[in-house]
Structure 1
Amino acid sequence: MAFGTQDDTDEVMNEINMTPLVDVMLVLLIIFIITVPVMKNSVPIDLPRATAQPEDIKPETIRLSVAGDGTYFWNEGAIPDEQLEPRLASEAGHQPQPELHIKGDRNVRYERVAKAMAAAQQAGIKKIGFVTDPDGS
């Protein structure tokens, strides 16, 4: 800090330059003005407490296979054509709704697979997937 002018005398200077002190105080004041509202910006609320656990229910998977001769298989069991739509409709009503995986033989007529897809859509099944052989053998 700078003191007042010096004379050739050995007297003690009693004058202090206040400008740097005021600058430091203004900077500290600005810092406190900015940080205090941030620290006290929350509203005190007494929140209710709950002990509910989320349920992760996996939907059932229905495997609908169409054999080379056009026969439908529901999870490895053969079903007649008349029972396909009622079974799909009953499964569509379950919560969570099951996923339908359609597996068609490469020698089956496309019409049989399309009928199964149309029956699933009319029944209200929302998740339909196709099972394929990735290597083509």
Structure 2
Amino acid sequence: MAMAAGSAQGGRRRRRVRRGGAMNEINMTPFIDVMLVLLIIFMVAAPLMTTGVPLDLPQTKAAQLNVDSKPVMLSVKANGQVYLAEDPLADEAIVGKLAEVSKNGFDERIFVRADKAVEYGRVATVMSLVSSSGYKRVALVTEPEKR
């Protein structure tokens, strides 16, 4: 009779689930999600970690300069002499003159114009003087390519 009662349930026996035992499978989905997020973060952050002088590189189709305000323009002639507008400056006087001329403080955009014959190191020196003094918006001025 005991046999008949057991077979009346369809012959199925319940398996007893063992709790607290060792799990032999690892769920990889959360691990992969975390790795993908970290990969994206590093891909976005890597270009921002480059060292050097911060520049606003010229665009191919540049917009016209704001006519209302006259930009602060530093010029470097072929012999390496630096000018603010048309006044010659020594390297030590660049920061002081920029502080006098700039209306917006360190948020003022500084344009650096350099002759084609000037050494790259000289232009980098002038730009580093300007950026190390606190000005964050330093741009190089170029002429559009003639076709």
Q: Taking structure 2 as the reference length, what is the TM-score of the superposition? A: 0.46
Structure having greater relative contact order (Cα 8 Å, sep ≥ 6): 2
Rg larger in structure: 1
Q: Taking structure 1 as the reference length, what is the TM-score of the superposition? A: 0.49
